[in-house]
Amino acid sequence: MYQLVLASESPRRRQILETAGFAFDVVPVKVSEIPDKNLNIDMQILDIARRKAKAAFALTKQRSNHPFLLLAADTMVVYHNKAIGKPSNSNEAFEFLKLLSRNVHEVKTGLIVIESTHGHEVSHVETSQVYFRHLSEDEIWTYIQSGEPMDKAGAYAIQGLGGAFVEKFVGDYQNIVGLPLKAFENILLQQRWQVKKS
């Protein structure tokens, strides 16, 4: 039986795991989230998730004698094969949302799971499509003033006020929020890894 360790400060990821009944420790780490442009989009996302995983793995290994599974994730909004990260200011948030208005984009989450005893690593990229309706400039600025877009990939949160912009989505809703739970549970099943539940 493994202790689950989440390498993320994201309240959304924590909430998804808690709701699913997982017991876990949180080991937040600060790593560079600048994508490696030499890699394709999926590999860029996994590369960032792996940076988080390795940093948190090293910290957890120092502190814990128990076998653990380390889970790290990175979520990107992708439009025309270009990653749209978190906006650095209000104007950039406006540009991102204007771009997504009346268009389809992808939300991709890279998962890295590392098993502590043998260092075995499993990776997975989950992709969902999101369709935005037309957004007026006033609507975008009103949304930016709420503060919600500022720490979100693509400058919106589907589970928050930004959900009003979404006409429809195809794929896993939890992936769009930031953690594809079904994909994680499939990894556990395939590897026959059992983790503690709360």
Contacts 24+ apart (CB under 8 A), 55-59: 55/7, 55/29, 55/31, 56/5, 56/7, 56/27, 56/28, 56/29, 57/7, 57/114, 57/116, 59/27, 59/29
Q: State yes or no: pLDDT of 20 exceeds 90.
A: yes
Q: CA-CA distance, 59 to 56, in Å (whole number)?
A: 5
Cα within 13 Å of Cα(33), Cβ side: 16
Where does the pLDDT of residue 19 fall: very low under 50, low under 70, confident under 90, or very high at 90 and above? very high
Share of the chain above pLDDT 70, in %: 100
Domains within the chain, CATH numbers bracketed: 3-191 (3.90.950.10)
pLDDT digits (tens, 9 = 90+) for 48-75: 999 999 999 999 999 888 999 999 999 9
Mean pLDDT confidence for 82-111: 96
The residues annotated as belonging to the active site are 74
Return mean pLDDT, the chain.
Answer: 95
